[in-house]
Amino acid sequence: MRKVSLLLPIFLCIVLSFCSQPQQGLDDVKVRLAKEPENLSPVNFTDAQAIQILNLLYQSLLVVDLEEDKLKPALAARMPDMVRQDSVTLFTYEIREAASWPDGTAVTADDIAFTLKVLKAPLLNNEQMKPQVEFIRDILPDETNPKKFTLVCSGYAPEMELLTGDFFILPSNLLDPQGLLKAIQVSELSDDLSELENNKNLKAFAEKFNAIDFKSDKAFLQGSGGYLLDNFVPNQYIVLQRKQNWWGSKLEQSHLVANPERISFHIIPDNTTALLALKNQQLDVLGNIPAAEFDELKSDNKFAANYNLYTPDSYEFTYVGLNSRSPKFSDKRTRQAITQLLDVNSMMKVSQQSYATPTASIIPPSLTAYYNKNLKAREQNISQAEKLLTTAGWTREQDGWYKSINGKKTQLTIEVIYRAGSTNFENAALVFQQSAAKAGIPVNVQAVESNLFSQKSKVHEFDMFFRSLSGNPFVFNFKVLFHTSYANLGGMNHTGFGNQKSDKLLDAINAAATTEEKAKLLKELQTMLYEEATFIPLYYQKERIAVHKRFGNAKISGLSPNYDVSAFTLKN
Amino acid sequence: MINLKIDLRQIWHRSLSFKIAASYLLLLIILIVTLPILPLAYQPNELDLQYTFAEPFTKGNGAWHWLGTDVLGRDVWANILYGAQSALLVSFPVMLFSTSLGLVIGMSAGYFGNDGLKISRATVPVTLLALFAIFYYGLYLPLNFYKLALPSSYIWLSLLALAVILLLLYKVLLPLLNRWRYTAANILLPLDYLVLRFTEALTSVPRLLLVLALASFMQPSVVLLSVIFAATFWTSTARLARAEMLKIKQLPFFEAGRSLGVPEAHLLIKHALPNMLGPVIVTFTFGIAGLLALESTLSFLGIGVPGSFVSWGRTIAGIRSNTSAWWLVVFPGAALAATVWSLQTISYHLLNHFEERKQL
Amino acid sequence: MLQYILRRFLLSLPALWLLVTFVFLLSKLLTGTPGEEQMLQENGGYYSKGSTESRQLVYRNYLNRTGQNLPLFYFSIKASPEPDTLHLVYPAHHRTLLKKLYWQYGNPEAVGRYYQSIKALEAALPVAQKASLQPYMDSLYSTTTPEGLKAIAATPSPSWGAQASELTVAATHLAAQQKSYTFLLPSFRWHGTDNQYHSWLIGVIQGNLGTSFRDGRQVSSLLYDAIANTWWLMLASILIAFVVAFELGMLLVMPQSKRLRKVLLPSLFVIDSIPLFLLALLLLVLLASPSFLQLFPVYGMGYHTLTGESWLQRAGVLSQYLALPVICLTLSNIPYLTNLIYRSFSEERKKDYARTARAKGFSERQVIRKQLLRNTLLPTITVLSDALPIIVAGTISIEIIFAIPGMGRLLVDSVLARDYPVVLAIVLVVAAFRVVTYLLADIFYSLADPRIKHAAS
């Protein structure tokens, strides 16, 4: 007993000595990451976390300014000039005069060519980005101006402008000082690459390039962006330090800034822990706050004294896919009946509280120019659903709905799948299950492991699924989702939407010259999607973000990562 | 059996905590048994969407939510009752199975050691062949038939083939081989070594890897989880039983019994088993407690447990989306704690009692 | 003794090898390969980044480049109709179709011909017809029954060209040439040393655990980092738990602490019944939150204030961050240990030698501390040897909640990302550590209780 009574005060002493809290660096923005980026390779990154950090280290030709949600020139001096020829499209860019690498040398067309080679060459760790630049077939340097060049792209698609400016530019001097890739042309790097795999120079370069530790090697993780990697502690934190005399800060362009002295990214996997760290002021920025917690924070006065809360409309929406190829759902009226069983308001309530906007179409309601206001948001209406089922030929019996399909008496049952681990989809599916039960339709809800889920949707082995998609306000090319040429096994048109009329409409949208025409066609597409009820958008969610009050100019936006940490300015 | 009844009565009269624990468990069992006829206002998976995260004593859509609701408006009280059902239905069979498996394996390893068990040479290759046949016809083929959605008659066919092959191996091949002097000769089976290495190996395979590997074949289900638990929980009992067996083997009465020629089975069951019952019961109850906790941890991590499975862990894990909903933790947590506490208290008193009797 | 230890150690090597081999094969059973999800999955929303075909090509090249297209093991045993190049067929739904056909018809040549004829027809179809024939083409890739094949053979019209008539012939041929039940015969195939397992094993023997699929870092350095983080946390909590449990056990067994026993034992049971993640969350909310008591930092292991200080200062800062997780782990270990230790004490107390000691005039305290301690060590050793591997294995829930980058998190992340080299290395290290601790346990057994002859093993 004596011993215990002795131990207790000692223990308490130790505990109390811990009371000191970690010190705050005022000009150090602390951001939470839910997971560590898998790697920080500018040509092979895999996750949103990596993009957020790489955007501070590297630059691409174009950048999205989160203040206005608009595409703006970054490394490029202005938006590219586009020329459409029969089978190719040409984009001509000019790089900013002042743009330079950390060693002081200028960014030139050579660097762009080098980057394209690294992205397209075989043998290199570039698989994640490679498909995205496949359409760029060649680069034509300007003979008079080393900063000017033209990208040759095959075919035409509306997103091409965005994509030609959407890869990080690498410094060729730093990564290939011997010029091993000089002899290889970008035009050689398309189609069959088996010959190049034996190229001696390429092999030598690959050996060196693949060995670079694109996570913590400060010497190689250098780009033309405003920050440099300062410290990397695996799975704990990543610290970036502002460059001295960065070229971009002299331009006085509001979308090319590097304001905070240091930015640190802290890896905290659990939400509860991150929230506590925020309340303790150990963090300055926290996104993805659970809805119920966000409500709680809103009413917390002590918290409100230190943090601002934001709820921008995001471009991510949750939708239901119905497999129109399945004989059970091939009748439009059956699918419409099922949409009458979707209690969107309850789904929003259980997963997002009030932080979401119901939508009747794939276009976000916040984009008023394109959103078709005539469509009514989906609401639960069981008697209407039953009516529709009857007109579709189903008859109500004691234990459910039956119909004779291909000579066989079939019961209307629905198996709902969703990606395992996603609570929002699970909750939405359970809400649907309950409404369907009221209408007498047995629903089986099944969480499916992520790999298996994409497999199942690709080979059309599903009745109905819950998923989400994220969009943007600048490009609207829905061909992959809705065109019948993508409806084959393995294609992206999982739900089997589409006919000749809709295919024509999709092509017309891509070809539309004016905003008015595009808006008209998009609205037509929305009506068609609404009628067909295979691809049923439910709601657009709102992001929930907290930013410390000592920072201003957060550039809150609906586009990921929802704030621009490089723009944060310290208030007095 | 009669003894146990008398014992229980004795403990009941002596100890208050035993009384409480036993009555709690009894009450729980009665509740579980009568669940289908209990007049519950809500089913555990019934959503009351107007009343999500309702605090305790909220009048819901129709009836009272005495203990509040979770994110989907599921009634906590109903979930606690049905959760108790699932907890006991999973943990008891799993622990009973794995404890008996552990006891058999551990005791035989401790008793036979490395030089106590002799088998004929021929048994080794025959058993290996049999194992291969079991793997191919009993596991590989049926799994593939299931995955490829081939007719189920194929599964019966392959099982039939398995039966025929096993019959051939043990009824024809083995007797044939045993006629030769070389293959009939006995060799020592280092049982202790094999068991020890096997437990070491098994405990080193992360359970999570097993869960994920199996989940990629089949849908996550309670049965699957139970199988994984049962197949991995026996190791601690086995090691304990082995250690105790080694101790008992050295005791004078046991050595005397062996030299007198008392049958092995009799020795093990009548003399060794009662002697190690104490520690084994402790591991059993702690094992149940561990299982209950593990299930809720898996729910928390979102691995392997299907969302429709009613459990205390599911309700508790609901706290993650709203930390101020204390009722999601307090009530199921209390039920969990009380159940575990009762189990442990009962085993504690039983143990004391056994020991006292042993002294007499 | 030394000879015995050496022998035991050598004897455990084959077990270790078997285990790792088993896990190697098991881990390859998981669906999906590293990077597959990101590479093959276009998140086509408002526009697409790259076509399906180019993604598949990239993915196959990636498999070739990383040697993942090689056979898994030296040999394979498969049902005889299934060729061993099946895993190289992409996309996945073609593979499923082929596998079904192989198993059902048992005739690889006929199946191959039929499959080629489908592909030829698909390639030859004019674009204009493609859309209208889509359902038919889809049905080609999902039909496997003989009746279905007959229907397929009957459908194509001659206007589709020579490929259509070849399809009819191939389908009829396949339906006619069915060799059922060949799958009952296993076939054994030898692949030689050019396989994934061989190259991995050779690497391990040479001390090279490979590189992570995710970030290309050396697996050994990944493991080193993770263990370095877990090590002190776990060691401290286990040691503290053992010391406290022994003290409590001895305290409880004293005759005068009957009251204490009544209070403490049930409350220990209650603590034990709280799942670890809940305990961690509770402590976190109670002791590291401004709304209750703000005693500890919430997460992590300190943040770049640690440069240039002496190791003592660093340990001071680190202990501040690790205090809460250590308390959590200690609390969760104490009940089981205390119960066990108390139980063996009270058993030993009743034995003759304890009575003798008491008769000799030793106080109860002295009897317990001097005489009984040694004998109670025995069951404790088993428990300790079971608990020790946690030092390297880590605890997932604690690591996730307190944001400590340890082995538990590394394992979960690697399994979810299918990063096999890391998963295998973790299993290997944990298993090796376990072998060592069990060996130590055996040695301590024989030291604590000489009656157990180590020759038994």
Please indicate, yes or no, if residue B330 is contained in any of the structural domains: no
In a domain, C2, yes or no: no
A464-470 and A414-419 strand pairing: parallel
* pLDDT tens, position by position, B268-291: 888 788 777 777 877 787 788 778
With beta carbons under 8 A apart, name residues in chain B contacting C11: 193, 197
Quote the domain boundaries for residue C124.
36-205
Among B164, B188, B212, where does a domain finish?
B188
Tokens in use for A498?
Answer: 């589409």
Q: In this predicted complex, what is the ipTM?
A: 0.80
Instruction: Return the bridge partners of A469, or none.
Output: A317
Establish if B71 belongs to a structural domain: no
pLDDT tens per residue, range C259-272: 888 788 878 877 87
Q: How many domains does chain B have?
A: 2
- My answer on whether B197 and B284 are in the same domain is yes
pLDDT in tens, C147-157: 888 888 777 77
Name residue, tokens 């909310």: C285
Say if residue C436's pLDDT is above 80. Answer: yes
CB contact under 8 A, B341 and C79: no
Q: Which of A5-9, A452-456, C135-139, C447-451 has the lowest mean pLDDT?
A: A5-9
Residue C210 domain-assigned? no
Domain coverage including residue B178: 118-188
Mean pLDDT over C174-195 rounds to 86
Q: Assess whether the previous peptide bond of A561 is cis (omega < 30° from 0).
A: yes
Return the DSSP state at C153: H
B44 vs B332: CA distance, rounded Å:
13
The last residue of a domain, from among B171, B188, B205 = B188
pLDDT given for residue A479 in this prediction: 87
* Tally of CA atoms within 13 A in the half-sphere of C391 that contains its CB: 19
Do residues C35 and A47 lie in contact, with contact meaning Cβ atoms separated by under 8 Å? no
Pick from A41, A190, A480, A525 the residue to mutate for testing the C interface (most C CBs within 10 Å): A480
Across C370-389, average pLDDT: 75
Helix (H) or strand (E) holding B341: helix B327-359
Both B225 and B108 in a single domain?
yes
Burial bucket for residue B202 (CB in 10 Å: 0-12, 13-18, 19+)? middle
The reply to whether B48 falls in a domain is no
**C290 and C320 assigned to the same domain:** yes
Last residue of a domain, one of C156, C181, C205: C205
DSSP annotation of A450 reads H
Looking at the domain assignment, is residue C25 inside a domain? no
Whole-angstrom Cα distance, residue A241 to residue A36? 19
**In chain C, which residues have their Cβ closer than 8 Å to the Cβ of B17?**
262, 266
CA distance A75 to A64: 12
Dig out the tokens for B279 from the structure: 């520690």
CB proximity under 8 Å: C 295-324 to A:
295-305, 320, 323
Average pLDDT, chain B: 83
Q: Residue A19 has what pLDDT?
A: 44
Same-domain pairing of C419 and C270: yes
Shortest Cα distance, chain A CAs vs residue B281, angstroms: 30
Same domain, B113 and B144: no
**B96/B178 same-domain check:** no
- Looking at the structure, tell me whether residues B198 and B272 fall in a common domain: yes
pLDDT band, very low/low/confident/very high, at A292 (cuts 50, 70, 90): confident
In this structure, the answer to whether residues C185 and C294 fall within a common structural domain is no
In this structure, the answer to whether residues B243 and B103 fall within a common structural domain is yes
Looking at the DSSP bridge assignments, the partners of residue A88 are: A154
pLDDT at residue A362, as a whole number: 92
A322 vs B116, more confident: A322
Question: Residue range C288-299: average pLDDT?
Answer: 76
- The chain A residue lying nearest C66, using CA atoms, is A123
B178 and B203: one domain? no
> Are residues C73 and C165 located together in one domain of the fold?
yes
Longest dimension (CA), chain A: 93
- List pLDDT tens digits, range B8-63: 788 788 888 889 988 998 999 899 899 888 888 888 888 888 888 888 998 887 78
Same domain, C201 and C256: no
Domain boundary among C205, C230, C245: C205
Q: Of C342, C341, C452, whose CA–CA distance to B245 is shortest?
A: C452
Examine residue B68 and state whether it is found in any structural domain, yes or no. no
* Residue that is last in its domain, among C183, C205, C227: C205
End-to-end CA distance of chain C: 12
Residues C226 and C200 in one domain: no
Partners of residue B120 on adjacent β-strands: B186
For the ranges A214-223, B202-211, B281-290, C207-216, which has the lowest average pLDDT? B202-211
**Residue C138: count of CB within 10 angstroms of its CB:** 18
Confidence of residue A7 (pLDDT cuts 50, 70, 90): low
Q: Answer whether residue C437 is part of any domain.
A: yes
Same domain, B195 and B281: yes
Helix (H) and strand (E) counts for chain A? Answer: 17, 24
Residues 6+ apart with CB under 8 A from A491: A458, A485, C52
d(CA C93, CA C77): 23
Does residue C393 sit within a domain?
A: yes
Same domain for B170 and B105: no
Q: C192 and C252 in one domain? A: no
Structurally, how many domains does chain C consist of?
A: 2
Chains that touch C (3 or more CB pairs under 8 A): A, B
Whether B223 is in a domain gets the answer: yes
Give φ, ψ of A457 to 5 degrees.
-70, -30
**CATH code: domain of residue B12:** 1.10.3720.10
Model confidence at C177, pLDDT cuts 50, 70, 90, reads: confident
Burial of residue A384 (number of CB atoms within 10 Å: 0-12, 13-18, 19+): middle
Say if residue C237 is in the same domain as residue C172. Answer: no
A282·C298 Cβ contact <8 A: yes
Please report whether residue B75 resides in a domain: no
C266:B17 CB<8 A = yes
C-alpha gyration radius of chain A: 27
Residues 168-207 in C contacting A (C-alpha not used; CB under 8 Å): none
Strand partners, A94: A148
Nearest to A71 by CA among A255, A315, A259, A312: A255
A63/C397: higher pLDDT = A63
Instruction: Kindly state whether residues C97 and C225 are assigned to the same domain.
Output: no
Q: Is the pLDDT of residue B355 over 80?
A: no
The reply to whether omega before C91 is within 30° of 0 (cis) is yes
State which H helix or E strand residue A516 sits in: helix A515-532
Q: What average pLDDT does this structure show over C398-403? A: 84
- B326 located within any domain: no
Asked whether the predicted pLDDT for residue C161 surpasses 80, the reply is: no
Nearest in space to A529 (alpha carbons), one of A363, A386, A392:
A363
The secondary structure of A25-48 as a DSSP string is PTTEEEEEESS--S---TTT--SH
Closest CB to A430: pick one of B72, B321, B325.
Answer: B72
* Residues C140 and C62 occupy one common structural domain: yes
Instruction: Check CB contact of B286 with chain C, cutoff 8 Å.
Output: yes
Q: Which chains touch B (3 or more CB pairs under 8 A)?
A: A, C
Residue with tokens 């993780």: A221
Q: Which of residues 242-271 of C touch A (CB under 8 A)?
A: 247, 251
Domain boundary among B188, B218, B236: B188
CA distance A347 to A559: 23
Cβ-Cβ contacts under 8 Å, B277 against chain C? none
Range with the poorest average pLDDT among A365-369, A501-505, C138-142: C138-142
Indicate the average pLDDT of chain C: 81
Is residue B297 within 8 Å of residue B32, measured between CB atoms? no
Has residue C10 been placed in a domain? no
Q: Which residues of A touch C137 (CB under 8 A)?
A: 488-489
Q: Is residue B303 part of a domain?
A: yes
Classify residue C417 as exposed, middle or buried by CB count within 10 Å of its CB (0-12, 13-18, 19+): buried
Q: Residue C390 above 80 pLDDT? A: no
d(Cα C420, Cα C424) in Å, to the nearest integer? 6
Lowest mean pLDDT: which of A4-18, B78-92, B125-139, B175-189?
A4-18
Shared domain check, B124 and B110: no
Do B28 and B94 belong together in one domain?
A: yes
- For residue range A528-563, list pLDDT tens digits in order: 999 999 999 999 999 999 999 999 999 999 888 899
In B35-64, the residues whose Cβ lies within 8 Å of chain C are: none
| Residue C445: inside a domain | yes
Residue C440 burial by Cβ neighbours in a 10 Å radius (0-12, 13-18, 19+): middle
Q: Specify whether C151 is located in the same domain as C247.
A: no
Q: Which of B251, B298, B257 has its CA nearest to residue B276?
A: B251
- Min Cα–Cα distance to chain C from A235, Å: 5
Residues B260 and B346 in one domain: yes
Q: Taking Cα atoms as reference points, which of B300, B311, B338 lies closest to residue B85? A: B311
Residues C159 and C226 in one domain: no
In a domain, C50, yes or no: yes
Instruction: Assign residue C414 the CATH number of its domain.
Output: 1.10.3720.10
Angle at A212 between CA A206 and CA A215, to 5 degrees: 140
